[in-house]
Chains A and B, each alone.
Chain A
Amino acid sequence: MLGDAAKALAVFDAVMHDAALRAAAGEVPKDRLWLFRDARDRCLETSEAGLQPEEMELEAHAIDPNATAQIAKLEPQQLAIWISAAPDPQRSALALFYLDEFSHEEILAIADLKTPELAKLLGNARQQFQAWLNACIPHDDHIEELPA
């Protein structure tokens, strides 16, 4: 969400501190996903305070059958930066989706989205990410060779 480990840790500490205080006071909300919602809100607040990514029209390419080989060459930090640079709510959708911890209903609840919106955000993001991959990590020759 933030693309910066130090900021993320600060948000995590703040969320846990607040959660501990609430738990001690017996004021834990009934919403079962409240902690994640709180974390997301704090991430958005933090990111709004820092440098903002430049708004620009991203290219979109269809998913390449060999995209996995391109993705395997990525560093986690590169992926984190790409996701954190996405405009919200696409950023929240991507972060929650690729964490592989939530069902789509839970993602909708945390990111305050509807299913069509989530589908559109993820669909667009895949194509934009593929275009970025094609620009940054071109296919190797051996990747392009498809089995006969």
Chain B
Amino acid sequence: MPRLTRRQRMFVNCAPFNDARIDDRAMRAAVFRVRKADEFAHQRAFDRAIAAVAEATPIPDEVTEWLSKGTFVAAPRRTWKQMLRNPVVAAIGIAVLVIAGILVFKLVDRLNQFPGEVKARHLLGVAASAKSVLLDPVKTEAGSLGDYFFMKHRLPHYDVPAEFAELKTLGCRAFDDEEGDRVGQIWIVDKRMQFFLFPAERDAKTGAIKHFAGWRYVDQDRWTGVVREQNGVCFMAAVRGGEKDLAPYIAKAKE
């Protein structure tokens, strides 16, 4: 007899000698394992011989007329538990769960997207490679640079939001990005943070500005930015790190 677990031995011991009566998967597997073993063959032959004698028991006709199991027993119903144990159902269930997970992930990702996200990611790449020597040295409070951009570069509404307005600057500049949009860049002393101001995304057909409310996070290559749109201009504070590095500034504003 092949080596069996206690559970398998138990199933083999009470396995019906008629394979058609085995409707339990674990029992069928246990029987399959021992099907060629002599010991099991003897057990089955023994059981079948006894069943043959039992079948030869004379039964009165009045009983025989009624004695059909099908008359008295309804077909067994498949329970949810049994269905879940079926490998095919389990495999389909797991596949559906994985697909549902991916859909939920995509949906959440889509919900977190905002107009101008692509440009914001691109500017995080600019922040990662920027050198302070490229900027015009301007040491002041970030909030006062709105006038500077307007007066020097004719960029209206390029204002730093109140949440970041008090931070000290090292320098700033205005440049054209790959799409020809004017971008304002400010270098901050605190945490080597950088600010970017750029035109909000517009609808390709109507030219209308695509507004969005509140602060939105975006990350790229270990840099994280927090973006807000106001008056058709997006402001992004970028820092090398995670959301936790920027969250205190935004939380301060909410208080």
| Residues of chain A whose beta carbon lies under 8 Å from any beta carbon of chain B | 5, 9, 12, 16, 19, 32-33, 35-36, 63-65, 67-68, 71-72, 74-77, 79-80, 97-107, 115-116, 118-120, 122-123, 126, 129-130
Contacts and interface: CB of A to CB of B under 8 A. Distances in A.
A115 B14 contact: yes
Contacts of B57: 76-77, 79-80
A101 B42 contact: no
Chain A facing B: main interface SS: helix
Contacts of A115: 10-11, 14
B24 A105 contact: yes
A118 B27 CA distance: 13
Contact of A100 (B14, B17, B27, B38): B17
B14 A104 contact: yes
* B-side interface size class: 35 or more
A79 B54 contact: yes
Contacts of B134: none
B10 A119 contact: yes
B50 interface: yes
Interface of B: 9-11, 13-18, 21-24, 27, 38-39, 42-43, 45-58, 60, 63, 66, 69, 72-74, 76
Given A67-B42, A67-B45, A12 B63 contact: yes
A131 B210 CA distance: 91
B122 to A, nearest CB: 65
A30 B177 CA distance: 76
A107 B50 CA distance: 17
Given A99-B51, A100-B54, A116-B10, 10 more contacts: A33-B73, A76-B53, A80-B54, A100-B18, A103-B22, A104-B16, A115-B11, A119-B9, A119-B13, A119-B14
Contacts of A116: 10
A116 B12 CA distance: 11
A36 B21 contact: no
